[in-house]
Structure 1
Amino acid sequence: MAIIGIDATSLSVTGKGVSRYQHNLLIALAGLDKLNCYYIFLNKKNILPELPRQGNFHYVRIGLLNHIIWDQFQLPRILRKYKLDIYHTTSDSLPILAKTKIALFIFEIPDYRIDLMSRAGHNSLYSKISYKYNEILFPYILRKAAVIMASSQSTKTDLIRKYAVEGNKIQVLYPGVSVCFRAPGDDMTLKDTRRKYNADSGYILHISSTDPRDNTAVVIRAFGRARQESEIPQKLIIAGNVDPQASGLERLIAELNLKDRILFTGYFAEKQTGELAALYQAADVYVDPSLYEGFGFQVVEAMASGVPIIASNVTSLPEIIGDAGILVNPRDV
């Protein structure tokens, strides 16, 4: 019997991307493995979705002060305390001195994310320290990891080209999405969804967050241009954990005179995944002009839901979408 640690510190009801991956991983492992012992580490501050419960699953809630203290002080003690044979993580920073074998899942290259965050004005003193910490540590953990899993061939290629990681050390594993996105919505559910958002004439869907990579301002500008040039009847629905006032999007919408055509739904908790699936399935098109994606969960959710897609022609998205959508320059309105 192996003792396996699972990093689920990103797991939250408000999360997307990595959070959804961690949740789906636990659900899948619960169905596949009743023998090995799992210690699953959760962030005490996060509101959690419903988690699988069984005898070989042990949940440990951790009070995380910040990720540097977690990496170099809290996590090494945990690895020793639970005598883990292997530790699976999606983090791009790890303990320098830990001896436990690390199975590292890389969703994105931190340098690219940091560059975009910095350009968007996320330059507080703590952010700058965190950026430098990642810049120094990331090449080291790539060497330290026993195995590296990459979320796309694009991410693997970047790891080889930028950090000289040996190709045979990296396995490309495409994450899946919840089966609820693959369940076809019945006509009544789709009509009810459109009626709920006062969008009987249809709508364009975009998933956003506080991350500047989502490029939501470009979606709004492109929607405004389409309204001017073609008088499209659809509304624009923006779902996700984004504050239109704090992000400046509310001001942009007012400038473009689109207030009555754009709706923010807020985020969908894990227990509301069925509602999110219906929101995808009832959409006329899903738009994702992301500036950088190591994988692109929302695009895959939309594809699974059978929705036409317009997405970026950069990083991993052409690989993930193939010929199943329209690819565009994310900086060209």
Structure 2
Amino acid sequence: MKLIVNAIPFAGLETGITRYVRCLYQALGAELGVQVGYLGYHGLQPTMPQAADPDLWSRQTKRFWGLPQPLIAAINATQRLRLERLLRAGCRSVQPRIYHETDLIPPPRLPLPRVYTIHDLSLVNHRHLHPKERLWLFDLFFERRIRQVDHVITVSEFVRREIIRDLGLEPRRVTAIHEAPSARFFPRPAAEVGAMRRRMELPEDYILFVGTQEPRKNLPLLIRALALVKQPTALVLAGWSGWGDQAWRQLLEPLRLEQRVYTTGYVDEETLADLYSGARVTVYPSLYEGFGLPVLEAMACGSPVIAARAASLPEVAGDAAWLVDPQDPRDLAEALQGLLADPERRRDFAEAGKKRAARFSWQRCARETLRVFERVAARKQARRS
């Protein structure tokens, strides 16, 4: 099968959506023989792009976010329309059977079937968790395009139910296909973890959080819970600083936690696997997620996991994580205290987590995605005949 995929996620840091596109299309191309055209701001290319340089991207993005919000929204809308002109030209030149939209905005009208991956409905149901310019861009396109899409893929049954209920799409037009941890995530040897800690000047005992520091990640709750934990274990926050990340920082001084919280900034997957492998426990207290890849990544590396009892996280974690109320710092503190004080319990959760993570694979995700593409293309062809 020949198709075009929106590869714009590669223009940013390699976080959730970029990992989705990379891992899915590596499996589709290498194992299933799919011919892919990767759409970017310079048109189509036959090979998968490299993710952006983290330092350069961070500097440029922080400067860009310093512009007035209406100007940011106008620039983003202009770039989107330019991308769509390149998409139409690409469709004429390579004549694909499917266009796969992986970015936030539904695709435009095209002379071929369109499949749109929705990672979550936070821009619909949790608008306060996003900056205004993102909402403006989303509102400009979403409502008038979503019902024109031929099929929607989403990454959890939780989000599938939300889409059917809140967007009114027919159930037959929405398919949930789980993501998976990358093959790069597996338990790392103690010597490698120790070298990472020395390089990054981190303590031996630490609790780990992984994710962009933004409001829906619920970091203020984590900071308040840490203050209630008796053990003086450090907290390591791994991920880009994001937007709206000041609320948790403002708690450090009054709670006397300045010396217990470390930030690494964005880290690559090799470093991230070391961080997971060395953590006493990984905590993911998000208020809302469409999937929650860090939960499975941590499990694959042998880290016990505490996750919020919210949105998709119970579906992803199953019974292999300690689930807590994302509104109650005492509940999270009790879970942290319980695992930090009990090595045997940590081992039990770590073993359960490795088994849970092994149930998810990008190969399965690719096969199920290809079946959706083939079904949608065949249905479109039947209508034309």
Fold-level match, TM-score > 0.5? yes
Q: For the residues of structure 2 that align with 1:115 and 1:248, how far apart are their CA atoms?
A: 14
- Aligned residue in 2 for 1:26: 25
- Aligned residue in 2 for 1:100: 112
TM-score normalised according to structure 1 size = 0.80
Supply the AA of the counterpart residue of 1:90: T
- Aligned residue in 2 for 1:74: 83
**In structure 2, the residue corresponding to 1:179 is in which secondary structure?**
coil
In 2 relative to 1, CA 194–103 (structure 1 residues): closer, same or farther, beyond 3 Å? same
**In structure 2, the residue corresponding to 1:263 is in which secondary structure?**
strand
**In structure 2, the residue corresponding to 1:193 is in which secondary structure?**
helix
- Aligned residue in 2 for 1:16: 15
Supply the AA of the counterpart residue of 2:264: T
**In structure 1, the residue corresponding to 2:115 is in which secondary structure?**
strand
Q: For the residues of structure 2 that align with 1:24 and 1:274, how far apart are their CA atoms?
A: 15
Q: Which moved more, 1:21-30 or 1:237-246?
A: 237-246
Cα deviation, 1:109-141, whole Å, max 9, x if unaligned, reads: 131342322xxxx34xx455335325xx24x44
**In structure 2, the residue corresponding to 1:255 is in which secondary structure?**
coil
Which runs of no fewer than 5 residues in structure 2 stay unpaired?
Answer: 52-71, 330-385
In 2 relative to 1, CA 12–181 (structure 1 residues): closer, same or farther, beyond 3 Å? farther
- Aligned residue in 2 for 1:187: 190
1:330 to 323, 326, 335: 326
Supply the AA of the counterpart residue of 1:78: L
In 2 relative to 1, CA 238–12 (structure 1 residues): closer, same or farther, beyond 3 Å? farther
- Aligned residue in 1 for 2:170: 166
In 2 relative to 1, CA 116–5 (structure 1 residues): closer, same or farther, beyond 3 Å? same
Supply the AA of the counterpart residue of 2:113: K
Cα deviation, 1:24-70, whole Å, max 9, x if unaligned, reads: 12322331254x532102357xxxxxxxxxx9547699xx9744334
Q: For the residues of structure 2 that align with 1:258 and 1:66, how far apart are their CA atoms?
A: 40
- Aligned residue in 2 for 1:50: none
Which runs of no fewer than 5 residues in structure 1 stay unpaired?
Answer: 45-54
TM-score normalised according to structure 2 size = 0.70
- Aligned residue in 2 for 1:132: 139
Structure whose residues are more often strand by fraction: 1
- Aligned residue in 2 for 1:85: 97
- Percent identical pairs in the alignment equals 26
In 2 relative to 1, CA 320–251 (structure 1 residues): closer, same or farther, beyond 3 Å? same
Q: Is the 8 A contact 2:214 2:243 kept in 1?
A: no
- Aligned residue in 2 for 1:116: 129
Q: For the residues of structure 2 that align with 1:244 and 1:107, how far apart are their CA atoms?
A: 19
Over aligned residues, Cα RMSD in angstroms?
A: 2.9
**In structure 2, the residue corresponding to 1:281 is in which secondary structure?**
helix
Query: Which aligned pairs between 1:1-333 and structure 2 lie closer than 5 A?
Result: 2-12=1-11, 14-34=13-33, 36-42=34-40, 57=47, 66-72=75-81, 74-83=83-92, 84-109=96-121, 110-117=123-130, 122-123=131-132, 126-127=133-134, 129-133=136-140, 137-138=142-143, 140-182=144-186, 184-226=187-229, 230=230, 232-242=231-241, 247-268=246-267, 272-333=268-329
Cα deviation, 1:288-324, whole Å, max 9, x if unaligned, reads: 1111101111112112112111111111001111101
Q: Is the 8 A contact 1:40 1:60 kept in 2?
A: no
Matched pairs, number: 302
In 2 relative to 1, CA 144–60 (structure 1 residues): closer, same or farther, beyond 3 Å? farther
Q: For the residues of structure 1 that align with 2:49 and 2:243, how far apart are their CA atoms?
A: 35
- Aligned residue in 1 for 2:343: none
Structure whose residues are more often helix by fraction: 2
Q: For the residues of structure 2 that align with 1:69 and 1:10, how far apart are their CA atoms?
A: 17
Q: For the residues of structure 2 that align with 1:75 and 1:20, how far apart are their CA atoms?
A: 23
Cα deviation, 1:266-294, whole Å, max 9, x if unaligned, reads: 101xxx31111010011011111111101
Q: Is the 8 A contact 2:305 2:322 kept in 1?
A: yes
Cα deviation, 1:176-226, whole Å, max 9, x if unaligned, reads: 2211112x2112223333444555541000123242111112211211121
